[in-house]
Amino acid sequence: MAQLNFGGVVENVATREEFPLSKAKEVLKDETIAIIGYGVQGPGQALNLRDNGIHVIVGQRSPSKSWDKAVADGFVPGETLFSIEEAAKRGTIIQYLLSDAAQIACWETIKKHLTPGKALYFSHGFAITYKERTGIIPPADVDVILAAPKGSGTSLRRMFLEGRGLNSSYAIFQDATGRAYDRVIAMGVGIGSGYLFETTFKKEVYSDLTGERGTLMGAIAGIFEAQYDVLRKRGHSPSEAFNETVEELTQSLMPLVAENGMDWMYANCSTTAQRGALDWKDKFRDAVAPVFEDLYDSVASGNEAQLSIDSNSQPDYREKLDKELATLHNHEMWQTGKVVRSLRPEREVK
């Protein structure tokens, strides 16, 4: 474990220098990694582990689209693709990657196969942090670990194929074997993490739920809609409103922020842009800070978790969700975006 200084705060991190893939493979050489669920995170983590030479099997309900996807990805029924229960039985490290609601529904099936010495792996702290609500309480004689990529499974896989790594957090809730640290870092390296920073299950889920509802999805989508709608109301065309709201941000500015930081991006914009951004930054911060305080309080109280459990457990959940997603999809801004993306040049314009 290394200690790095982040703006004056020292954190524990694991890097590829101290924990290379060769070491991860040595740690995991006698393990069978059973990935339960092949939806959001499952494919990326499974394929990266497999490509890194680690023994992976998948547990998935059949028939289902996810089962078919696993087959298409090269997992073989009866050899590396099994029912959820059979995979849990065979696995020594069980990666519990079902949705939060599905984890609750399948817990009794998984729990009976958590024999002494196994490890229960999560990529989200939800089930354990809110265990009084989820009922997911692991036996005391298994390791309970977490490696949480800071992005979607699709991004994890894409960056892996590009030879890059997606940063992840790691946590140890329970170390029954004395090997939990090596296991979790080896798994983090195996799934394609860039570096891994230490957290706890509680901090992971608090930050994750806040981020998803905040700058990662909820807040940014709301800000996009607000600016786009104002521009349209003031007479700007859909193309102009979309380009000034979304396209320039995602295609030009955010890549610069990702590469060099917001401070660098500010320093390399026009003086007019610098002046206006600096003048308005604090106004936006002060306007939304109370919303973020409310959001964090709602996460910490368990209210957001309960809302998720209640809604995702309803029999017509998918039907209701599809209607909400359709509303988002049909907004003029994203219909405009579809056209704009089709007009992007396939290669660099000279």
Residues noted as catalytic: 124
Q: How far is CA 234 from CA 48, 224, 337, in A?
A: 48, 16, 19
Alpha carbons 215 and 292: distance in angstroms, whole number: 10
* Euclidean distance between CA atoms 16 and 22, whole angstroms: 10
Supply 253's token pair: 């500015």
Residue 163: left if φ>0, alpha if ψ -120 to 50, beta else—which one?
left
d(CA 182, CA 31): 12
Q: Tell me if 305 sits within 8 A of 297, measured CB to CB.
A: no
Q: Which token pair is 94?
A: 């069980």
Distances (CA, A) of 251 to 8, 151, 254: 32, 18, 7
Of the candidates 144, 128, 137, 66, which has an alpha carbon nearest to the alpha carbon of residue 108?
137
Q: What is the CA radius of gyration of the chain?
A: 22
Torsion of CA 183, 188, 190, 192, to 10 degrees: 180
Give me the half-sphere count of Cα atoms (radius 13 Å) on the Cβ side of residue 288: 14
From 97, 84, 92, select the one nearest 183 (Cα to Cα).
92
Distance CA(124)–CA(203), nearest Å, equals 10
